[in-house]
Amino acid sequence: MQARRNYNRTTRINEEIRKEVSYILQNLLKDPRIDILTSVVKVDTTKDLKYCKLFISVLGDDEKRSQTKVALKSAAGFIRRELAARLNLRNTPELIFVMDDSIEYSVHMEQKLKEIQAETPTEE
């Protein structure tokens, strides 16, 4: 029962962190290097709440992605401070930003499938 309760707690905390960081990125952070189409896809927090991996998706070219990653690393302290003010946790985890290309990959694969579908002749 203890493991299940910890799992539920961690899951709730991850979801809360995801919501709050998304809000902070969209409304409070005023860095022009961060692309408007930046979203938090997934959050993984360690059980002891010391570290938190945030999987970030940026729609755009490689330059936009690299600029956004640099800007997020430099704004990590501000985001962590805002997160501490918004969440009722004893310790606010250290934030680690990881770029996630899964959304862009799925869009790319969908385009490829549409191209293949358009190339194949239809049988009547």
| 33 contacts: CB under 8 Å, gap ≥ 6 | 67, 68, 70, 71
Rounded CA separation 51/56 (Å): 16
Would residue 124 count as lying in a domain? no
The pLDDT, as a whole number, for residue 81 is 95
Number of domains forming the structure of the chain: 1
Q: Whole domain around residue 94: which residue ranges? A: 2-119
Does the reported pTM lie above 0.85?
Answer: no
Would residue 25 count as lying in a domain? yes
The pLDDT, as a whole number, for residue 97 is 95
Would residue 65 count as lying in a domain? yes
Give the CATH number for residue 101. Answer: 3.30.300.20
Would residue 97 count as lying in a domain? yes
Q: Does pLDDT of 7 surpass 70?
A: no
Any idea which residue has 């959304």 for tokens? 103
11, amino acid identity: T
- Among the listed residues 25, 39, 102, the one whose alpha carbon sits nearest the alpha carbon of residue 71: 25
Contact 60, 37 (CB under 8 A): yes
Write the pLDDT tens digit of every residue in 45-98. Answer: 998 899 999 999 988 788 988 999 999 999 999 999 999 999 988 889 999 999
How does residue 27 score in pLDDT terms, banded at 50, 70 and 90? very high
| 81 contacts: CB under 8 Å, gap ≥ 6 | none
Would residue 6 count as lying in a domain? yes
Q: Are strands 94-99 and 51-58 parallel, antiparallel or unpaired?
A: parallel
The pLDDT, as a whole number, for residue 25 is 93
Neighbour-count burial of 106, counting CB atoms closer than 10 A to its CB (0-12 exposed, 13-18 middle, 19+ buried): exposed
- Among the listed residues 66, 71, 65, the one whose alpha carbon sits nearest the alpha carbon of residue 24: 71
